């Protein structure tokens, strides 16, 4: 039996009405592959934090400035990748007027597709759905000083020079960029998981490659999943996870190490931290995790299986919406109208 099949009983057969106390935590290390820009108002987002968690030990106790990847900068690109997949399979539509039309983050959200139901929406008095995906700001493992660089870009004209019709172009752009190979340890959580929802959220983590400012178009990142835990409660924060990894690495001598080593330490730290949490938990890591990820990747490569899984997900999301969600009222109204029409004949 495949690992995914073995895990199936851990999931809800349908989206439950109320939070059930079932959580899947994805432990990951986000790893920059080029020069992402995570900024508001022209400067990179940073925060002063303690380097590690220890109260003793000079290195761990020191305050350092860390780069910050706000929650929205993580989840928005992942949602967009998922929505793109649903459209490419013809399960949702970008064409207004079509039955399965959904517009992201607007009054025209459909309130019933997997994106609306899993990641949530809020459209004033037209209804809201709380997100079932929890995430929070992520912090760079390494300090800001060694993790960024400011670049000045000249924006040449179409002929490739800095002058146009004899005049110098004045389009120089000064932008603070995150450097390649900076890591952001994170925990992303899915509550009340269905099997298909789990595949969807995990797939979005594996398939999202671009984060940060759209204007830069250089924000490639890789998400290394280093553990997946099934728990009956929430667990430690991104900052705590980052600080614990910092301590583990500095105990070994150096915090600036290759990604392979960060992954290894992060996996061990996730297990150790989980053991201290007041929750029941099962963690999948190491070889078991590798084969699970292989299975999930295999599913994303197989159109027929992917289509079946995502179609089931869409049905479950719609059923939830019509039974407990924002579509209940609309459905009632439609039924009432039908009944009235029926009685007037
Ligand atoms: Zn939708």
Among residues 59, 43, 8, 33, the alpha carbon closest in space to that of 193 is found at 8
Q: Domain for residue 15, yes or no?
A: yes
- The number of helix segments (H) and strand segments (E) in the chain equals 11, 16
Number of domains in the chain: 1
Report how far ligand 1's centroid is from the alpha carbon of 33 (Å): 31
Report how far ligand 1's centroid is from the alpha carbon of 109 (Å): 5
How do residues 191-215 score in pLDDT, each as one tens digit? Answer: 999 999 999 999 999 999 999 875 5
pTM (two decimals): 0.91
Residue 10, pLDDT > 70, answer: yes
Report how far ligand 1's centroid is from the alpha carbon of 308 (Å): 19
Q: Can you say how many angstroms the Cα of residue 235 is from the centroid of all Cα atoms in its chain?
A: 17
At residue 127, what are phi and psi to the nearest 5 degrees? Answer: 115, 165
Q: Domain for residue 78, yes or no?
A: yes
Report how far ligand 1's centroid is from the alpha carbon of 170 (Å): 43
Q: Domain for residue 243, yes or no?
A: yes
Report how far ligand 1's centroid is from the alpha carbon of 120 (Å): 9
**Residue appearing with tokens 């939070």:** 19
What would you report as the CA-atom Rg of the chain, rounded to the nearest whole angstrom? 23
Interstrand relation of 163-164 and 167-168 (parallel, antiparallel or unpaired): antiparallel
- Find out whether 32 and 67 touch, Cβ atoms under 8 Å: no
How do residues 49-97 score in pLDDT, each as one tens digit? Answer: 999 999 989 999 999 999 999 999 999 999 999 999 999 999 999 999 9
- Find out whether 204 and 190 touch, Cβ atoms under 8 Å: no
Report how far ligand 1's centroid is from the alpha carbon of 58 (Å): 50
Report how far ligand 1's centroid is from the alpha carbon of 79 (Å): 11
Q: What is the rounded average pLDDT for all residues in the chain?
A: 91
Report how far ligand 1's centroid is from the alpha carbon of 314 (Å): 10
Q: Domain for residue 289, yes or no?
A: yes
Q: State the pLDDT confidence band at 217, using cuts at 50, 70 and 90.
A: low
Domain ranges, residue 258: 3-149+170-324
Residues 6+ positions from 85 with CB-CB distance below 8 Å: 203, 207, 310
Q: Domain for residue 97, yes or no?
A: yes
Report how far ligand 1's centroid is from the alpha carbon of 226 (Å): 30
Q: Domain for residue 160, yes or no?
A: no
Structure letter (DSSP) for residue 97 = T
Task: Region of 127 please: left (phi>0), alpha (psi -120 to 50) or beta.
Answer: left
Q: How many CA atoms lie within 13 A of 68 on its CB side?
A: 16
Report how far ligand 1's centroid is from the alpha carbon of 13 (Å): 21
Q: Domain for residue 47, yes or no?
A: yes
Q: Domain for residue 254, yes or no?
A: yes
Report how far ligand 1's centroid is from the alpha carbon of 27 (Å): 27
* Three-class secondary structure of residue 85 per DSSP: helix
Report how far ligand 1's centroid is from the alpha carbon of 317 (Å): 10
Residue 120, pLDDT > 90, answer: yes
Report how far ligand 1's centroid is from the alpha carbon of 93 (Å): 9
Alpha-helix runs per DSSP H in the chain: 3-7, 58-61, 71-88, 114-119, 144-147, 195-207, 238-251, 259-275, 286-301, 303-323, 327-344
Report d(CA 293, CA 302) in Å as an integer: 14
Report how far ligand 1's centroid is from the alpha carbon of 292 (Å): 28
């Amino acid at each position: 039996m495949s690992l995914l099949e073995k895990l199936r009983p851990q999931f809800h057969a349908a989206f439950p009405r109320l939070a059930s106390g079932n959580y899947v935590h994805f432990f990951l290390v986000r790893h920059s592959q080029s020069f992402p820009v995570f900024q508001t108002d022209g400067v990179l987002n940073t925060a002063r934090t303690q380097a590690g968690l220890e109260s003793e030990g000079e290195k761990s106790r020191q305050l350092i400035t860390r780069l910050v990847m706000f929650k929205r900068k993580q989840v928005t690109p992942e949602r967009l990748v998922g929505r793109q997949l649903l459209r490419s399979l013809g399960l949702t539509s970008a064409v207004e007027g079509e039955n399965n039309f959904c517009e992201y983050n607007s009054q025209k959200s459909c309130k019933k597709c997997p994106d609306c139901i899993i990641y949530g929406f809020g459209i004033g008095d037209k209804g809201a759905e709380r997100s079932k995906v929890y995430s929070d700001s992520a912090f760079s493992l390494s300090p800001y000083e060694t993790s960024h660089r400011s670049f000045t870009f000249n924006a040449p004209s179409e002929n490739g020079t800095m002058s146009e019709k004899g005049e110098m172009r004045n389009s120089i752009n000064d932008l603070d960029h995150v450097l390649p190979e900076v890591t952001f340890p994170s925990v992303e959580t899915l509550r009340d998981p269905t099997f298909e929802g789990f595949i969807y959220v995990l797939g979005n983590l594996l398939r999202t490659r671009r984060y940060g400012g759209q204007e830069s178009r250089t924000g490639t990142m890789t998400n290394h999943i280093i553990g997946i835990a099934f728990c009956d409660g929430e667990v430690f924060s991104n900052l705590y996870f980052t600080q614990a990894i910092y301590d583990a690495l500095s105990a070994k001598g150096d915090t600036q190490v290759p990604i392979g080593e960060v992954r290894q330490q992060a996996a061990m730290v996730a297990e150790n931290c989980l053991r201290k949490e007041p929750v029941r938990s099962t963690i999948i890591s190491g070889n078991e995790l590798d084969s699970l990820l292989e299975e999930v990747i295999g599913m994303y490569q197989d159109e027929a299986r992917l289509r079946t899984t995502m179609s089931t997900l869409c049905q479950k999301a719609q059923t939830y919406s019509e039974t407990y969600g924002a579509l209940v009222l609309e459905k009632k109204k439609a039924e009432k109208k039908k009944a009235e029409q029926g009685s007037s004949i």
